Amino acid sequence: MHRESVTVKDIARRVGVHYTTVATVLRDNNTSRASEKTRRAILRTARTLGYRGNILASNMRRGLKRLAVIICAEDQEMIYYPYYQEIIAGLQDVLSREGRTLSFHFYSHVTKGHILKNIDSSLYAGLIVLGNEKYNEIESLAAHIPTLQINYRIPSKHRHYLLRDEEAAARTTFSYCAEKGRRRVTGVFLYATDVQKHRQDIYERIAKEFLAITFSCTSIAAVDRQLYTYDMARSLYNSITDDMIRRIVRSSDVILGLSTYCELLYRRMCAVGIRIPEDIGFLMDGAMYAERVYFPEVSRVGVRTKEMIDAIISFFETTPRPKTIELASHIFEGATM
């Protein structure tokens, strides 16, 4: 069935409801009298079939309501961070098929005081916040617009959170290493932030549940912020010495990269002559599209992007909305384990 030919009657037949119910839900999901189960089934089926409808009319009926993404960071280059790019691209793809749009706002100390002027809450169905921010203006917006914070748990009265289940991810990681016969696991960080320290604490605690696993952590850089520019990544790559790599390899059966861009370490290990997986296994925490494309052989533990996008869309279609959504991680098998 071609997307252009999909009608509300097609969706109604698939869901098993009258077509007027489908039309009402697609016209204004928030005020539809259909049950929550029916609304979610209709919206899910519409996405699956690729229903587009009359985009112009749909937008006019919605009053141009759309989702807004606010990227909070001190440096605008954070916009190009692969993790954010994949989330934004996935959201844009889904929303464009539904005739909805995604607008973007960058927020830092430089733009402080302007975000409330730039975002008219009457035009938005919800806000998606990316980045570890501490600005009260975001909280003010969240009091009036449903707001979903991605991957950070910041105490908030109004915001909701989409998080990865870090404890489940750690258990998945250690179970996988044990299945592969890898007992000495070294977690490697490329930078030291509060989020990374929190992750280290979780992995160290969960490792105690696996009596056959010996787990330790090490940092190979004194960078106190995330890497998101070419110059930062190149500088870090050049700082990784052969002796540093050999020292880690001697004490490990598997290296677990716990920072984005740990592929830099994988590349340096190969350059030094370390045979992977014969000499040592290599596992990455993270499953972003850009990393999978350039390093398809690297085994990974992470959340599937489609599951993340579906959870975000579902959040804004669900009433009442859950305060916290936690997503499970999966193993992406590569040749490095």
Are 165 and 329 spatial neighbours (Cβ–Cβ below 8 Å)?
Answer: yes
Tell me the CA distances in angstroms from 10 to 82, 95, 99, 158, 280, one per residue in order: 37, 20, 18, 38, 54
Distance CA 149, CA 249 (A): 37
Banded model confidence at residue 236, pLDDT cuts 50, 70, 90: confident
Distance CA 94, CA 79 (A): 20
Banded model confidence at residue 60, pLDDT cuts 50, 70, 90: very low
pLDDT at 53: 62
Distance CA 37, CA 32 (A): 12
Find the helix packing angle between 305-317 and 36-49, rounded to 10°: 140
Banded model confidence at residue 29, pLDDT cuts 50, 70, 90: low
Question: Which range, 8-17, 115-124, 207-216, 240-249, has the best average confidence (pLDDT)?
Answer: 207-216
Are 281 and 185 spatial neighbours (Cβ–Cβ below 8 Å)?
Answer: no
Find the helix packing angle between 19-27 and 36-49, rounded to 10°: 90
pTM score of the predicted model: 0.73
Helical ranges in the chain per DSSP H: 8-15, 19-27, 36-49, 55-61, 82-97, 115-118, 136-142, 166-179, 194-207, 230-239, 242-250, 263-272, 289-294, 305-317
Distance CA 174, CA 206 (A): 9
Which of 1-5, 14-18, 154-158, 178-182 is predicted with the least confidence, judged by mean pLDDT?
1-5
Are 254 and 188 spatial neighbours (Cβ–Cβ below 8 Å)?
Answer: no
Which of 89-93, 168-172, 278-282 is predicted with the least confidence, judged by mean pLDDT?
89-93
Residue 297 clears pLDDT 60, i.e. is over it: yes
| Mean pLDDT (the chain, rounded) | 81
Are 146 and 321 spatial neighbours (Cβ–Cβ below 8 Å)?
Answer: yes
